[in-house]
Structure 1
């Protein structure tokens, strides 16, 4: 492997690890985990998620009661400010990672990266979408 590539990869990893997006996500996760109501909702979600997984692994269909339970839990999650803040921060971090991946993928393919700005799609507003070509001058 090229030592230069590995060095750049380590620099990229360090930059991502020090990014405000990751710091914010970790802070929001900590706040969520310290919120008793949020913890109860998250545990309820995980239990239902495991139940649904078990049903699917048996090759069975998810019934309407399970679907209603899932919708109710999702509603609780969206209504809880700590959970909602964590989800929003997590989405911002995921968008950063997608932007980095897109830039690397396009470079490997010999294409130019996203034209949104010097930070790629990270400079785009919510109107840009999640892929180049979806707005704000990306192509």
Structure 2
């Protein structure tokens, strides 16, 4: 398993990969020790993050392996269908996973997304148009949305 601490415009991100797939991308308070010999998938992830933060990449194309329950994985898959520069509500996300009454469960699954930014949970907002929550904090969520051209927050 590779681990890399990526210094991004929104803080330190801990990226983990195993078996040539990205398994985690989490917000951290500080950097730890990165693996010395990075796998090809880790190098590509770093490259794509550089491009995303430079405003040159809208769609990540990396092999992902998030681990969760069947329901969580269905939510994370649905998150990947939200286009760059757009937002949806938790209710709309619940409808996408064909469980329209599961708004709270969808919110919980969204909050447990193990691959932030690449699986764009930051694009989900509250039904009233407010930001809602975000594992990286609302300032980070606002920064990511503005990077994608959403300036109403």
TM-score normalised by structure 2 residue count: 0.27
More strand by share: 2
TM-score normalised by structure 1 residue count: 0.29
Computing the radius of gyration over CA atoms, which structure comes out larger, 1 or 2? 1
